[in-house]
Every structure is written in C-alpha cells, then in structure tokens.
C-alpha cells in the first residue's frame, strides 16, 4: 500500500513531532536550527515562543498566509482520504485514527499560519529550496529536513538528492533527515548511494532509530556530521 501524490503538499507537523522525529535533545534546541522544507509546520513558531532560534526555508513561503491557507484547504481532504484508504500502512499509537491525525495536522498548520506574517518579517521564514540555498556556510548548528528528501524519491533524482544533502552539509554543522522511506513505504533506493557520496566528501553518516513511527517502518533518520 502507498500514498500517491503528484507533488509536494502542505502538511504541517507539530513541535513535539519534530523533537521525536529528529531525536532532539534540550541542548540542541538551544542552537541555531534550520528547517529545510518545513512547509506549514509548527516547529519554528513553537521553538521561537520557547526562546529558541529557528529559520525555515521552503518554496511555499513565496505565498502569503491567505494563499497558503487556501492551498491547505484544497489538499487537506484528499490527503486524509488517502490515509483512510491505507490505514494499515500506518502505526496508530500517536494518533488514534485518521480523524485525530487530521485535527492534529490542522492545529499545527494553524499555529504556523498565526506566526507566519510576523516570522516572515523577522526573517524566520525564507523563500527558497534545495538543491541551492542562499545561506552562508555553516550558519546553523543543525539542519533538519522533514518529509521531503527520500520520501519523494519517485519525484526527484539521485543527483538531486546528493546535491541537496551536500548543500545542507554546507550550511550546517550537522544534518538530520527523516524519514528514510518513500511514499510507497519502502526504504528509499537512494539512501545507500547518498551515504556513499557523502563518505567520499569526508562526511560521517549514520542511520539511527528514533522514537517516532507513523509510516509503518519509518522510525529511522539519517544523521550527518560535517565538522
């Protein structure tokens, strides 16, 4: 079973999910964090409220809040319907059922929308995307990429993945990517080749289990140390 998406869709996740997906420790949340491909996630808003430092970068941020909210309304029901048709492909421990999942996603996206105008004015939401980020070298302690690289393997190439991960390594001292499955729920065919390419560039990579699993089998992240 798999989810069929023709393009990347806005589907925001919560601060607590980010902490679990990326095994974030309290001390790490005090550093400078880049969220690449965050979309309408609540992580930036919540971390900022807690006194942390976050920048999110995504092509979605070329649009205003009203346009993003409209796109969310256009895609929300279709995504939930696909999840309902493929319930066995997911682990229902964090969320009781698709309805609760939907409520949690909407809550996270509303949190993002409430913060978006202020955050964009403050430079916390930046328009841009992989594989080229208009950001300085080693500007961040940690770069996080949630539900884009590897997940959309069928929509992008191996070369795109290698260039994108290398670019994340340029702007951050450490990179974490989650999940490592594609939309079919299978381990991305690009993963080992990306790790090999990173090794040739002198980066140390490890696949690590995390305390988060919604896509069945999707409980690992790729961790890359660049310095």
CATH number assigned to the domain covering 15-225: 3.40.50.150
pLDDT tens across the length of the chain (227 residues): 343 334 567 889 999 999 999 999 999 999 999 999 999 999 999 999 999 999 999 999 999 999 999 999 888 998 999 999 999 999 999 999 999 999 999 999 999 999 999 999 999 999 999 999 999 999 999 999 999 999 999 889 999 999 999 999 999 999 999 999 998 999 999 999 999 999 999 999 999 999 999 999 999 999 999 86
CA nearest to 154, candidates 190, 194, 193: 190
CA distance 223 to 177: 7
- H or E element that contains 136: none
Angle at 134 between CA 165 and CA 56, to 5 degrees: 75
**92 vs 50, 74, 83, 172, 194, CA distance in Å?**
29, 25, 12, 34, 31
Locate 179 and state its tokens: 């999940």
The side-by-side arrangement of strands in the sheet containing 53-58 is 125-127, 53-58, 32-36, 140-146, 172-178, 220-225, 204-209
Query: Could you tell me the pTM of the whole model?
Result: 0.94
> Which is nearest to 181 in space by CA: 142, 226, 213?
213
């Amino acid at each position: 079973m798999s989810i069929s998406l023709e393009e990347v869709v806005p589907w925001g996740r919560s601060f607590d999910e980010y902490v679990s997906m990326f095994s974030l420790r309290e001390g790490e949340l005090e550093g400078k964090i880049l969220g690449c491909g965050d979309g309408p996630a609540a992580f930036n808003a919540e971390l900022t409220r807690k006194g942390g430092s976050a920048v999110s970068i995504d092509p979605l941020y070329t649009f205003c809040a009203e346009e993003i909210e409209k796109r969310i309304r256009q895609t929300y029901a279709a995504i939930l319907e696909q999840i309902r048709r493929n319930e066995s492909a997911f682990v229902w421990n964090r969320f009781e059922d698709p309805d609760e999942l939907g409520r949690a996603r909407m809550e996270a996206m509303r949190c993002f929308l409430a913060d978006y105008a202020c955050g964009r004015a403050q430079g916390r939401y930046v328009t841009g995307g992989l594989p080229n980020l208009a950001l300085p070298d080693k500007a961040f302690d940690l770069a996080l990429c949630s539900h884009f690289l590897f997940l959309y393997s069928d929509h992008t190439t191996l070369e795109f993945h290698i260039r994108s991960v290398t670019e994340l390594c340029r702007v951050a001292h450490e990179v974490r990517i989650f999940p490592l499955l594609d939309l079919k729920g299978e381990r991305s065919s690009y993963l080992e080749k990306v790790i090999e390419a990173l090794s040739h560039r002198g980066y140390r990579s490890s696949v690590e289990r995390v305390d988060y699993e919604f896509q069945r089998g999707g409980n690992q992240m790729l961790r890359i140390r660049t310095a």
